[in-house]
Amino acid sequence: AQSVTQPDIHITVSEGASLELRCNYSYGATPYLFWYVQSPGQGLQLLLKYFSGDTLVQGIKGFEAEFKRSQSSFNLRKPSVHWSDAAEYFCAVGARGGGNKLTFGTGTQLKVEL
Amino acid sequence: GAGVSQSPSNKVTEKGKDVELRCDPISGHTALYWYRQRLGQGLEFLIYFQGNSAPDKSGLPSDRFSAERTGESVSTLTIQRTQQEDSAVYLCASSLGVTPGLNTEAFFGQGTRLTVV
C-alpha cells in the first residue's frame, strides 16, 4: 500500500527566507507525486506534480519540488517566502492508472513571520 | 459552472440521522472523487467515479457510506445513521478523467463541513 509522510507538522519562517517542506513516500513503483496547498476558506489547489522525466519540477507561485528516487522523497522548496504563502501544504502520491485516487500526507502548516 | 460546487457548505446533524452531501463537478469532467478530511489530518480517499465504469468504492469506511453519480454530472454522498466520528470536511474533486499512463489535474470544491452532535 502506498503512504506519505510529512514529518513537519508546523513550520515557521520569516518572510523572504527560503523554505523546504519535506515529503517521503512509500510506493512499489514509480509514483505520481503532487503538492497541494490549502488556504483558510479556500479549496485545495495544485501547486505542482511529477509524473516522469525531469526530476525537478516547477509549479505555480514560485514553488519547485525535486523527486529523489533513492531517498523516496519529493520535497517542496521556495527560495523566498511571501506572507501570502502561509497555508497548509499537503504532499500526495498516486498510482499510475489510478487517476486522482491519491494518498495524502497529514500536512504541514506553514506560518510566515513578517 | 466555473468550479466544483458542493452543498451544503456546513451541516450539523444529530447522531443517528442520515445526511446527503452534494457535489456538482466541472462541466465535462468525467472523473469525480470524494475525500474526507478529519480535523488535523490529511485527506482520505472515499470513492471514485469514472465515466460509466463501476465506481471504485475501496475507500468507503463502512456500509453506512454510499455514493451515487448520475452520468457525468451531480454526485451525492450519503451517510446513514451518522456517528460522531463521521464529523469531518467532505471534499469533492473532478478531473478530465484518466488516460493510461497520464494523469490530469483534480479540481477540488470547498467542501462540506459535517458536524455530528
The radius of gyration of chain A from alpha carbons, rounded to an integer in Å, stands at: 13
Chain B residues with CB-CB distance to A42 below 8 A: 110
- Alpha-carbon gap, residue B4 to B61, rounded angstroms: 24
**pLDDT value for B98:** 64
A111 touches chain B (CB under 8 A): no
For residue A101, pLDDT beyond 90 = no
CA atoms within 13 A on the CB side of B19: 26
pLDDT reported for residue B25? 95
Gap between the Cα atoms of A89 and A110, Å rounded: 7
Asked if the model's pLDDT at residue B100 lies above 60, the reply is no
Q: Is the model's pLDDT at B90 over the cut of 90?
A: yes
Cell numbers at residue A101, please?
Answer: 485516487
pLDDT tens column, B14-51: 999 999 999 999 998 889 999 999 988 889 999 999 88
pLDDT tens digits, A15-24:
999 999 999 9
pLDDT at A109 over 80: yes
Contact A51 B102 (CB under 8 A): yes
Give mean pLDDT, residues A71-75.
96
Who among A101, A105, A106 is closest to B45 (CB)?
A101
DSSP β-ladder status, B5-7 and B75-79: unpaired
Indicate whether A72 pLDDT > 80. yes
Largest Cα–Cα distance of chain B, in whole Å?
44
A46 touches chain B (CB under 8 A): yes
Contact B43 A102 (CB under 8 A): yes
Closest CA to B29 of A37, A22, A103, A99: A99
Mean pLDDT of A93-99: 77
How high is the pLDDT of residue B1?
A: 53
Quote the CA–CA distance of A109 and B113 in Å, as a whole number.
20
Tens of pLDDT, residue by residue over A20-39, are 999 999 987 778 899 999 99
